[in-house]
Chains A and B, each alone.
Chain A
Amino acid sequence: MNAAWSLLMALAWRNLWRNPRRAAITAIVVAAGLFSVLTLDAMMQAWAQSSRDATLELLTGSGQIHAQGWLDDPVLDHRMPAPSPELSATLNAAPIGGWASRVTVPAVIQSEYKTLPLSLMGVDPASEARISTIPDMVVEGSYLTGPDDGEIVLGRHLLERLRTQLGRRVIVMAQAADGTLAQRGFVVAGVFAGNTAIEDGYAFTGQRTVQQMLGIGSDISEIAFRVPDNGQLGAAVTSLKAAAPELDVKPWTALSPMAAAMDSAMGSYVWIWLGIVFVLMAIGIVNTQLMAVFERVREFGLLMALGMKPRLILALVCVESALLVGLGVAVGFVASAALTWGLSGGVDLGGLAQGAEYFGGSRMLYPHFDMALSLREAALIWALGVLVALWPAARAARANPVEAMSHET
């Protein structure tokens, strides 16, 4: 059996190169197809990741807890008390990796020059750092020091629009609990750079400062939590709901339907693409291998006349196809891995950054070559490619020695 196999391999390999141009073109078809599948996959994953990063890691977290009604209308009336001991215990336990409470209210910010609307967010810097990447995105000055911090951190773009700068005072006005318009002056302590929507939309200060300004005691408007293992998110949400049945606990998939939709759409899109590419590749493979078989009918007849069994002829053609498709798969795999690796430093969408944000991503994409998934896709393409090559192989095995020898070429 071994001898037969090594003979088959040797025959198959040489047969492959009898028509090098044809073999090369077929390999290119397979390589281009697989390349597009793998690269698309890497890019989509990078996009989904960037989309998750843009929403989840900036502010949203893995999930949030609010009072009922807050999500529809995020105003002070829909606030909630500080977490109960029971809720705190659940939040502090696995699988939750960190949590932060926040006070968020619609507000107006005023410089000497102009007035702009935004959300004022009172945070506890220590717990916030475990949830959000904004504390790390401060490009000028520094982030807040504690929940009592009375200074403010603003986005870079907002600062430009207000025509103010680090160290200057701004005035923030918001609806207080008693219905009056609370007003407070803040010194700009830090400037963060994120995406434009967040830069323009949020201002951060100490949580207790906001609570005092609005007169809400220790009440908060939301709790954001992080679950490091996305697979445990469902369980975490269930246990939080049990701990705080009167509150509205939502995973990020419900909070950021766009990021969630992206996530699931990307996955199915890649498989649809793989299907389309496969159909085309299959046509390319069958077309070439059928021709290769037709023009060698005499040769197969001769091999059979010499005593080779049809099964072995079938095996020979299959091995040839396996080598040919395998070659294309290898080239496509390496090319895609090389490109992805080359781009792993990050793809800067540059001038289209706002466009990326519009679709829920961010300006930088970090493609990552998922070796396990790519190997699986490559193996699938290879196996399917060999499978469709059974058609020409069966044609070859049906060759009749006598007929084949007199076959008109």
Chain B
Amino acid sequence: MLAVMAWRNLWRRPVRTGLSLISMVLTTMLLVFMLSFQLGIYDTMKGNALRLLDGFAQIQPPGYLADPDIRKTIAAPGDLAAAARKVPGVTAAAPRASTYVILSNGELSYGGAVIGVDPTAEVQVSRLQATVHHGRYLAASDSDAIVLGDVLARNLKLSLGDRVTLLGSSADGGIAADSLRIVGLFHTGMAEIDRQVAEMPLARFQESFGLGDAANVIALSGPSLGAVQRAQPALTQLAQSQGLVLRDWAALEPALQQGITLDFATALFWYATLVIVVVFIILNTLLMSVLERTREFGMLLALGMRPMQIGRLVWMELLMLSVMGNGIGAGLGAALAAWLQVRGIVFPGFEGALALWGLPPRLYPTLSWTSALSPPAVMVACIALAGTGVFLRLRRLEPVPAMRAA
């Protein structure tokens, strides 16, 4: 009957309860939607940035991250890649070697990065092959072949089938040079990559740049970023056994990781102020509803009800109110997010800025248990916590003064 009383008590002041509900519904709805939206964008940003070239994690020689150098190598990349693929959560491991070279066509020369890849493994890690719009990507049987960023090719006045000359330094410090036939051109939309990157077969790279059987990194991929993150302990162990280090996505894309952290931390700060405002609104409502019922509580105490039971009654009212309000809010927010997850959101005028962050013009929220449940859970917890003050006050209630209260 306590629950029945609590429920009916809520509706003694329908306007007040309604307003309190609205404040919670609005806030939770907003928070669920915003959180889904943010997490969705973060996922897109991470996915787009990492799938293009980096992979979800990499095994590297120590110090390679700060200063990528062809002389920092992994001795037996094939065996290590095979071992990495056996780790649960990892589906692909692609050995790579890379260095900065001067690419030239006759008198024309531009600087760029050339990456030696194992085509079979590479296509499982990197999405670069999907951006090839002229010709084809590298194949396992290729030796005399290279794919270039389309801007780089244009600047060098090269087209499909032409030869490009690479000039750089080999692993032993000498001069290394090679000439390769262009089999494909790619366009990623990331200006730096289209202007500066070329990929060639790993075996040919090793030969031309005097690497022997070595590689510089092993790029890893899996069904999802989360799966690879869960495999991190095993991968770290594997890397350490070879005197190497594991670099997670945050290390590979520190700016992206920090950007996300910064954005998220800032957003959390504003969300917190919103939660504080709502908690105070509810606290005030609770306080008023308790004060105006002091005589009634006095009567219940006189009949033999314990102050704890009255506390429980009020507590139950508070919980019902907040669970209802936040539940409805979370439901609406989730529905909105789910709807837009299908439809997408367009921000007119922001397409350029979005492209700079590697985002498509149409953005999609991602509804998850975290985004749908954490805002209402935090709200209910904060409100319940704020209610303890009133609860403690009720425990000190004495029947005679209570019945005398105005």
Contact = CB atoms under 8 A, between A and B. Distances in A.
Contact of A261 (B16, B266, B352): B352
Interface string B283-298: 1110110011000000
Contact of A356 (B155, B259, B353): B259
B285 A108 contact: no
A106 interface: yes
Given A179-B108, A355-B258, A357-B255, A29 B352 contact: no
A273 B270 CA distance: 9
B340 interface: no
Nearest to B352: A257
B172 to A, nearest CB: 14
Interface stretch (A112-120, A216-224, A301-309): A112-120
Interface string A228-269: 000000000000000000000000000001101110110000
Contact of A32 (B15, B20, B280, B285): B280
Q: Is the interface of A mostly helix, strand, loop or mixed?
A: helix
Interface string B234-264: 0000000000000000000011111111110
Interface stretch (B21-29, B123-131, B309-317): B21-29
Interface in B131-153: 151
Given A73-B154, A115-B101, A273-B270, A287 B281 contact: yes
Contacts of B400: none
Q: B15, B111, B112: which has the most chain A beta carbons within 10 Å? A: B111
B357 interface: yes
A106 B255 contact: no
Given A175-B108, A175-B109, A354-B258, A33 B100 contact: no
Nearest to B289: A291
Given A106-B111, A173-B102, A290-B15, A284 B277 contact: yes
Contact of B255 (A179, A258, A265, A355): A355
Contacts of B406: 409
Contact of A359 (B104, B111, B259, B291): B259
Contacts of A181: 102, 104, 107, 109
Given A73-B155, A261-B349, A355-B258, A281 B107 contact: no
Nearest to A77: B155
B365 interface: no
B281 A262 contact: no
Contacts of A36: 270, 273-274, 277
A354 B260 CA distance: 11
A353 B170 CA distance: 35
Contacts, number: 170
A26 B30 contact: no
A276 interface: yes
A402 interface: no
B19 A286 contact: yes
Contacts of A279: 23, 26
A369 interface: no
B357 A359 contact: yes
A86 interface: no
A72 to B, nearest CB: 9
A5 to B, nearest CB: 29
Contacts of A33: 273, 277
Contacts of A115: 100-102, 111, 168-169
Contacts of B23: 279-280, 283-284
A376 interface: no
A359 B277 contact: no
Nearest to A258: B353
B95 to A, nearest CB: 22
B254 A354 contact: yes
B129 to A, nearest CB: 23
A22 interface: yes
A251 to B, nearest CB: 14
Interface residues of A, number: 63
Contacts of A356: 258-259, 262
B154 to A, nearest CB: 7
B100 A117 contact: yes
Q: B108, B265, B273: which has the most chain A beta carbons within 10 Å? A: B273
A355 B260 contact: yes
A114 B262 contact: no
A62 B292 CA distance: 63
A117 B274 contact: no
Contacts of B195: 106
A358 B357 contact: yes
B304 interface: no
Contact of B287 (A22, A29, A117, A290): A22
Interface in B159-202: 168-169, 195-196
A151 B19 CA distance: 70
B281 to A, nearest CB: 4
A280 B281 contact: yes
B30 A262 contact: no
A25 B292 contact: no
Closest 7 CB pairs of A and B: A355-B258, A108-B111, A257-B352, A358-B259, A36-B273, A261-B353, A355-B259
Interface of B: 13, 15-16, 19-20, 22-23, 26-27, 30, 67, 69, 100-102, 104, 106-113, 151, 154-155, 168-169, 195-196, 254-263, 265-266, 270, 273-274, 276-278, 280-281, 283-285, 287-288, 291-292, 349-350, 352-353, 356-357, 406
Given A22-B288, A352-B262, A354-B258, 10 more contacts: A21-B287, A29-B284, A114-B69, A115-B101, A117-B112, A175-B110, A279-B26, A283-B20, A290-B15, A358-B259
